[in-house]
Amino acid sequence: MPAAAPHRTHTHTTHTTHTTRRSAAPAGRAAARYTFSRGVAALAGALALALLPSTVATADVALAAPTDSPPRPGTRSPHQQTQKRHTQQALRATTTPRLERASLTADGAEANDASWGGVISADGRYVAFTSKATNLTPDPHNPYLPVTYVKDLRTGAVTFIRDGLGGVRISADGRCVGTNDFGAHDLQGFVHDLKAGTRQALGSARGGSRITGLSGDCRYAAYTANPHHPADPQRIYLHDRTTGQDTLVSRPPTPEQYDMSDGSLSADGRTLAYRAHRRQGDGPDRDDIIVTDLRTGKHRQLDGSQDDATAGLVQLSANGRAVAYTVGSDTYVHDLRTGRTTRLNGTWGRALSPDGGHLLYADANTEALRLRNLRTGADHLVAPQGGAEPGALTAHGRTTVFATAVGDLVPSDTNGVADVFVRHRR
């Protein structure tokens, strides 16, 4: 037994030696192939270097050549520093927002009076806004009353719309624009079909109306109907432009006489959010935010005013998933699918992006206009001061429309009045 162990060791050693000899030839051939491939690669690289322009080849050779004083460990070579600088410049060029002025004539001349209240189509091409300027188009109009213009950001063309008493809305493709102006007896809402060249009044001429929302395809328009008698409450109706039918979509009257207003419509016209204000009864809670499924008629009430603070609706997202509203000097964004509510203290919400992921708001302390990414919490300054309307954002906050009198945002801003600007996030 003791002699058997050396025999097993000798047998194992002999087997290993034979294995090494059997693998020696393939290994040699592999090494030869590797050496040959490296030679071919080197030859190809030299050939490619020779075919490059002389300036590039010289630079590459200079980089490859050894230097007498190599960079110290932890420092960058001149080439690396140049490369880093170029990378930083390219990064700034691709991340710095691009800003343009929308309240200009078709040939780029400045407006001769103030502009405000801009909204943008979902495709980011058209901006509708209110203005007292008289030189943006050659159309004659009353110089004492504001009007509405639509700017094509792609071509620069400007379209004139006579109505201009605020509350401008625009369809997803920019074909239809909602405005408010004087009707036969009172202030009334209108829908302008720019392609068909038509102007359609909403609601009854007696008492008047105010447009507050348009569906993406311009089929539906939401408007607040003012009562014939001041003691009666306001109601919200949905007008079907295809059938001509008007449907009462706000909650039925209550003994407290709630005024229903500020209706905001989803892009598909299936969801409506609005503000209910109690004009009678006791208690501090006088405002509620209501969301209605127009297919089922189901109403959902969100938390409204607290104590004596006033609540107001900002906007329902175009996808119908989120709703933004204010209570006092705070803004809330409620996700209708998950039930989660995000609170932004010391802010006045201005607009909610179509996907519900970004909020445009004004800082209650500085009045600066900022854009908040609701998913990451990141904030971006839009303007040191300015105003914005519901409908001022495109999806994911890529494009923002706002008005400001700040005169140094773009070159050659010399008119000294408020203008409408478009901020494109790269």
Question: Could you write out the DSSP letters of every residue in 345-365?
Answer: TTEEEEEE-TTS-EEEEEETT
Q: Is residue 86 part of a domain?
A: no
Same domain, 106 and 61: no
Shared domain check, 166 and 297: yes
Among the three residues 19, 36, 65, which one is the final residue of a domain in this structure?
65
Q: Which of 14, 41, 65 is the last residue of a domain?
A: 65
- d(CA 250, CA 273) in angstroms, rounded, equals 9
Measure the CA dihedral 224/228/234/238, to 10°. -40
Checking if the pLDDT of 381 tops 50, the result is yes
Question: Do 179 and 257 sit in the same domain of this protein?
Answer: yes
Confidence of residue 197 (pLDDT cuts 50, 70, 90): very high
Query: Looking at the structure, do residues 262 and 197 belong to the same domain, yes or no?
Result: yes
**Of 382, 385, 420, 415, residue with least CA distance to 403:** 420
* Same structural domain, 20 and 137: no
Statement: residue 302 has pLDDT above 90: no
Check whether residue 8 and residue 134 sit in a common domain: no
Of 53-57, 66-70, 139-143, where does mean pLDDT reach its minimum?
53-57
Dist. CA 349–CA 111, nearest whole Å = 28
Helices 4-51 & 54-64 angle (0-180, nearest 10) = 140
Kindly state whether residue 73 falls inside one of the protein's structural domains: no
Q: What is the pLDDT of residue 72?
A: 52
Look at residue 70 and tell me if it is in a domain: no
pLDDT at 196 > cutoff 50: yes
Among residues of the chain, what percentage have pLDDT more than 70?
75
Report the distance separating Cα 388 and Cα 314, nearest Å. 11
Average pLDDT over residues 24-34: 43
96 contact partners, CB below 8 Å, separation of at least 6: 426
Residue 93 has pLDDT above 60, yes or no: no
Position 188 in a domain: yes
pLDDT at 63 over 80: no
- Out of 4-13, 274-283, 364-373, give the one with best mean pLDDT: 364-373
How many folded domains does the chain comprise? 2
Residue 56 pLDDT grade (very low, low, confident, very high; cuts 50, 70, 90): very low
Are residues 115 and 61 part of one domain? no
What residues does 271 pair with on adjacent strands?
293
Mean pLDDT for 347-375 is 97
- pLDDT of the residue at 212: 96
Instruction: Examine the domain organization and report whether 23 and 107 are in the same domain.
Output: no
Query: Which pLDDT score is estimated for 227?
Result: 85
* Domain assignment present for 88: no
Which domain covers residue 20, as residue numbers?
Answer: 4-65
Tell me, what DSSP letter sits at residue 56?
Answer: H
> Helices marked H in 176-317 — which ranges?
none
Residue 155 CB contacts under 8 Å (≥ 6 apart), including other chains: none
Band of residue 229 on the pLDDT scale cut at 50, 70, 90:
confident
Q: Does a structural domain hold residue 84?
A: no
pLDDT digits 0-9 by tens, 114-141: 999 999 999 999 999 999 999 999 998 8
The dihedral through the CA atoms of 354, 357, 359, 360 has a sign that is: negative
Question: Quick one: 299 and 211 in the same domain?
Answer: yes
The mean of the pLDDT values for the chain is: 82
Mean pLDDT, range 371-377, rounded to an integer = 97
Examine the domain organization and report whether 107 and 33 are in the same domain.
no
**Rounded to a whole number, what is the distance in angstroms from the first to the last CA of the chain?**
82
Note whether residue 317 is domain-resident.
Answer: yes
Q: What is the CATH number of the domain that holds 179?
A: 2.120.10.30
Mean pLDDT along residues 31-43:
43
In angstroms, rounded to a whole number, what is the distance separating the alpha carbons of residues 43 and 197?
A: 70
d(CA 399, CA 290): 28
The secondary structure element, H or E, covering residue 217 is none
Residue 71 DSSP code: P
Same domain, 160 and 235: yes
pLDDT for 168: 97
User: What pLDDT is attached to residue 270?
Assistant: 97
Mean pLDDT, residues 329-347? 95
Give the position of tokens 């328009």. 221
Is there a single domain that holds both residue 289 and residue 409? yes
Q: Is residue 77 part of a domain?
A: no
CB 324 within 8 A of CB 315: yes
Q: Which of 65, 94, 112 is the last residue of a domain?
A: 65
* Contacts with 376 (C-beta within 8 Å, 6 or more apart), sequence order: none
Q: State the sign of the Cα–Cα–Cα–Cα dihedral 42, 45, 51, 53.
A: negative
Query: CA 187, CA 211: separation in Å to the nearest integer?
Result: 10
DSSP annotation of 396? G
> 143-150: long-range contacts (C-beta < 8 A, 24 or more apart)?
148/177, 148/179, 149/103, 149/115, 150/126, 150/174, 150/177, 150/194
The CA distances from residue 222 to 27, 49, 213, 260, 401, in Å, are 80, 68, 5, 12, 22
Residue 311 · residue 326 · CB < 8 Å: yes
